[in-house]
A and B are shown apart, each in its own frame.
Chain A
């Protein structure tokens, strides 16, 4: 079963037997069996919503299982809270960081350690641990100064300080550049070689095939397969994950390059948020009939750029942002919509849709410029027709257009929002992280819709952290780093490595040289 024959005779470090957990209305875990050997790199694989998060929360003591047994080094145990999990030797790096931005690295780590009182000695220990694993980290820096990759290092070091026997990593690479991912993998391999077990949660198949020795696949809360990922192909792993054959998006051939539809010229914007990113002389243009992708690690100014493009933050001068040649920098979101711009925001519930309102009401949220509102009155018939059209053409699985938005799964809500924006026939569409946290089927629908819109002659701008996604659908890709944006590359003339280097900020010197030359 495992690649190392000897492991079979050893007691598993962690063993789950028949773990079940249900929430009202959904079954999160169903009779899950899982065992992790000492020193094993074990992948927990599944789509969003397959029950991975619930399962690790049970292991880490955040959530209690309804049924089942957890055995730790052969003995049955009960984990009541994260503190007792840590005492056992279980460490966890969360997908969303749990650091205080206004404290230093040392102070943050001191908060998690109960025993250490002497800050200076702790700082020394942090440096020792960090150097030992090749994780460069300055303990005296404030967290808000750190990049996302560095913040993750803090989280990892914090776990390592407790000398864990099992380290749980929840989707750790979504915020890293490809090069940073490689470095993280080296650390994990070393830890495993020292006997620490790693439970690695991801839906990225390539990473799992490169890193893990064993994989447990979850689908709809239940274990559907156990395998050695090194002997599988992405297609076979995807099949285990999704349960059916996964189709790839058909890339259409040559695209006809049209006029400039969305143009940003030398946009400089100070952030409102003290920890936000300054937009530093950003220039870009999206032409009709193309998809421009913006890659980059989260927190490098994407949020600020998206707000500025949507009109939620106004540009300092009206000619810095132009839609189809006309100045639009001074227009708010409604004014830009009137010019043919549509926008798919990064958060679905809470920005792109109102959780408590029905789908019909949510259809009206941005579609109020056409016939849905007349003389200040909502034309409920027209709105309902529009909502039904979205549900129908985008295969939104829901209980009807009167269902509350919060009752939909993330993927279906995203299809609804994309549909709402595209059916208004925008001439420019901006989509932020269009398939983040969305299941494979919905992602395919969304990608096809974006490509169709492009083929119909609209300009599409996609901001995403998922490089595979960008390479799949974009015509050109630019990279955002520290509030700057690189010269876009044609997809056929670049590769993931080059984009990854740019994500690390390697284009800056060149760009500075260009701007100096222009002075």
Chain B
């Protein structure tokens, strides 16, 4: 039997490092075509329904931003942490806590705060996400608890908390017993910027996060420390960088950005608190972060691409009668091809001859 093994390449091609996400997208599209064909649809027609129709109107383009903004906000924060080997997997939970904290301010303090409601909601949302991410940060720096587990588990706690609130104390009395809060009102509503779209504050904040994230990582000394901690912790110790502070910072910033995404989502496009405020933005943001090569501008493009897959899934559901699970399959394929391409950029497959019979001793 031939032996197949992976050998590290002496030098990974710089060009291929940047091309690999594109290659992954192309491979995913090919995979999707096969999938559509198996499901009995014309691949070209399905492509059009999936990728072109959704953005053929102004409203559609706006929706791209609406779906992309929470993904990008979460992914920027996650990517900063991933650079430092801080694996926050719980952006989903921080997103929900941001929605709860910001939404709570909007629901109960709007009459009191008046025009200050919006900034107060944003601050509360960011703090909500930050506090939720502070729990894994504390557990990691104090007890060396793995942040992957703690942040992931806290996501389920957050989701149950939201469910409890909208089914219990915060339920809309006029809501026909549906699990939902009262709709936001007056100053608590984040209106769209452009008429004809739902594009609003969330998209603007996502853009600001992209620029801010780039500035942090490529210009500031803190960003430099984050990179060193992630690449070579021993060098960070030697240089005297405070690694606990870096862990705290990474979790705090990613929690705050996810929280901001959460409050923008409920106060903007959704308009009230529901049990299903996120179609998994916090988890999908992990794919976005890696598809964007952990680079803020890459994340911007990746976020829009994944947003398109959400829109396309909805459209294909309506016009082609495809199951909504196609979106999940599509995103899964994308991540799979991305990781595969990345692996092959750094390693090469060697199919060697089988070991010859041992020499007689």
Give A residues with C-beta under 8 Å from B.
23-25, 77-81, 83-84, 87-89, 310-312, 332-337, 343, 345, 347, 350-357, 361, 364-366, 368, 373, 376-378
Q: B224 within 8 Å of A by Cβ?
A: yes
Contact, CB under 8 Å: B237 / A376:
no
Give the docked Cα–Cα distance between A310 and B228 (Å): 18
Contact, CB under 8 Å: B238 / A333:
yes
Contact, CB under 8 Å: A80 / B228:
no
21 residue pairs of the A-B complex, CB under 8 angstroms, read: A25-B10, A80-B356, A84-B358, A87-B358, A87-B359, A88-B359, A311-B240, A333-B237, A334-B241, A336-B240, A350-B234, A354-B231, A354-B232, A354-B235, A355-B232, A356-B231, A365-B235, A365-B238, A376-B221, A377-B219, A378-B224
Q: B38 within 8 Å of A by Cβ?
A: no
What string of 1s and 0s marks CB contacts (under 8 Å) between B23-55 and chain A?
A: 000000000000000000000000000000000
Q: In the complex, which of the residues B222, B227, B238, B355 contacts A351, with contact meaning CB atoms closer than 8 Å?
A: B238
**B237 (CB) vs chain A CBs: closest residue:** A312
Q: In the complex, which of the residues A25, A347, A368 contacts B234, with contact meaning CB atoms closer than 8 Å?
A: A347
**A333 (CB) vs chain B CBs: closest residue:** B240
Once A351-B232, A354-B232 are accepted as A-B contacts, the answer to whether A84 and B359 lie under 8 Å apart by CB is yes
**B218 (CB) vs chain A CBs: closest residue:** A378
Q: A80-B359, A332-B240, A357-B231 are in contact. List 4 more A-B contacts (CB 8 A).
A: A333-B240, A334-B239, A335-B240, A354-B232
What string of 1s and 0s marks CB contacts (under 8 Å) between B76-88 and chain A?
A: 0000000000000
Q: B5 within 8 Å of A by Cβ?
A: no
What string of 1s and 0s marks CB contacts (under 8 Å) between B225-249 and chain A?
A: 0011001101101111110000000
Once A78-B359, A354-B231, A354-B235 are accepted as A-B contacts, the answer to whether A24 and B224 lie under 8 Å apart by CB is no
Contact, CB under 8 Å: B232 / A80:
no
Once A357-B231, A376-B220 are accepted as A-B contacts, the answer to whether A345 and B358 lie under 8 Å apart by CB is no
Q: B361 within 8 Å of A by Cβ?
A: yes
**A404 (CB) vs chain B CBs: closest residue:** B11
Residues of B within 8 A of A353 (CB): 235
Q: Is the interface of A mostly helix, strand, loop or mixed?
A: loop
Contact, CB under 8 Å: B240 / A377:
no
Give the docked Cα–Cα distance between A24 and B358 (Å): 28
Chain B, range 338-361, C-beta contacts under 8 Å to A: 355-356, 358-359, 361
Contact, CB under 8 Å: A376 / B222:
yes
Contact, CB under 8 Å: A373 / B240:
no
Give the docked Cα–Cα distance between A351 and B359 (Å): 43
Contact, CB under 8 Å: A357 / B227:
yes
Q: What's the minimum C-beta distance from B194 to chain A, rounded to whole angstroms?
A: 35
Q: What's the minimum C-beta distance from B2 to chain A, rounded to whole angstroms?
A: 15
Q: What's the minimum C-beta distance from A149 to chain B, rounded to whole angstroms?
A: 28
**B223 (CB) vs chain A CBs: closest residue:** A378
Residues of A within 8 A of B359 (CB): 77-80, 84, 87-88
Q: In the complex, which of the residues B228, B231, B235, B240 contacts A337, with contact meaning CB atoms closer than 8 Å?
A: B240
Contact, CB under 8 Å: B235 / A373:
no
Residues of A within 8 A of B221 (CB): 368, 373, 376-378
Contact, CB under 8 Å: B361 / A88:
yes
Give the docked Cα–Cα distance between A54 and B126 (Å): 56
Contact, CB under 8 Å: A87 / B361:
yes
Residues of A within 8 A of B234 (CB): 347, 350-351
Give the docked Cα–Cα distance between A370 and B221 (Å): 13
Most chain A beta carbons < 10 A, residue from B219, B220, B222, B237: B237
Give the docked Cα–Cα distance between A24 and B12 (Å): 12
Give the docked Cα–Cα distance between A84 and B356 (Å): 12
**A77 (CB) vs chain B CBs: closest residue:** B359
Give the docked Cα–Cα distance between A23 and B11 (Å): 11
Q: What's the minimum C-beta distance from A354 to chain B, rounded to whole angstroms?
A: 5
Contact, CB under 8 Å: B356 / A377:
no
Q: What's the minimum C-beta distance from B7 to chain A, rounded to whole angstroms?
A: 10
Give the docked Cα–Cα distance between A311 and B237 (Å): 9
Residues of A within 8 A of B235 (CB): 350-354, 365
**A338 (CB) vs chain B CBs: closest residue:** B240
Residues of B within 8 A of A364 (CB): 224
Give the docked Cα–Cα distance between A337 and B241 (Å): 12
Give the docked Cα–Cα distance between A354 and B228 (Å): 7
Contact, CB under 8 Å: A365 / B220:
no
Residues of B within 8 A of A88 (CB): 359, 361
Q: What's the minimum C-beta distance from A60 to chain B, rounded to whole angstroms?
A: 14
Q: What's the minimum C-beta distance from A3 to chain B, rounded to whole angstroms?
A: 31
Give the docked Cα–Cα distance between A339 and B10 (Å): 41
Q: What's the minimum C-beta distance from B316 to chain A, rounded to whole angstroms?
A: 41
**B355 (CB) vs chain A CBs: closest residue:** A80
Residues of B within 8 A of A352 (CB): 235, 238
Contact, CB under 8 Å: B219 / A378:
yes
**B232 (CB) vs chain A CBs: closest residue:** A354
What string of 1s and 0s marks CB contacts (under 8 Å) between B188-221 and chain A?
A: 0000000000000000000000000000000111
Residues of A within 8 A of B242 (CB): 332
Give the docked Cα–Cα distance between A439 and B231 (Å): 28
Contact, CB under 8 Å: A24 / B237:
no
Residues of B within 8 A of A312 (CB): 237-238
Residues of B within 8 A of A78 (CB): 356, 359
**B227 (CB) vs chain A CBs: closest residue:** A357
Give the docked Cα–Cα distance between A373 and B227 (Å): 16
Contact, CB under 8 Å: B240 / A23:
no
Q: In the complex, which of the residues A335, A343, A350, A366 contacts B232, with contact meaning CB atoms closer than 8 Å?
A: A350
Once A24-B9, A24-B11, A356-B231 are accepted as A-B contacts, the answer to whether A377 and B220 lie under 8 Å apart by CB is yes
Q: What's the minimum C-beta distance from A89 to chain B, rounded to whole angstroms?
A: 8
Most chain A beta carbons < 10 A, residue from B220, B224, B242, B356: B224
Residues of B within 8 A of A79 (CB): 359
Q: What's the minimum C-beta distance from A69 to chain B, rounded to whole angstroms?
A: 13
Give the docked Cα–Cα distance between A357 and B9 (Å): 18
Residues of A within 8 A of B356 (CB): 78, 80
Q: What's the minimum C-beta distance from A165 to chain B, rounded to whole angstroms?
A: 11
Q: What's the minimum C-beta distance from A127 to chain B, rounded to whole angstroms?
A: 27
Once A88-B359, A351-B238 are accepted as A-B contacts, the answer to whether A378 and B220 lie under 8 Å apart by CB is yes
Closest 5 CB pairs of A and B: A333-B240, A334-B240, A24-B10, A87-B361, A351-B234
Residues of A within 8 A of B219 (CB): 377-378
Q: What's the minimum C-beta distance from B227 to chain A, rounded to whole angstroms?
A: 7
**A355 (CB) vs chain B CBs: closest residue:** B232
Give the docked Cα–Cα distance between A365 and B232 (Å): 11
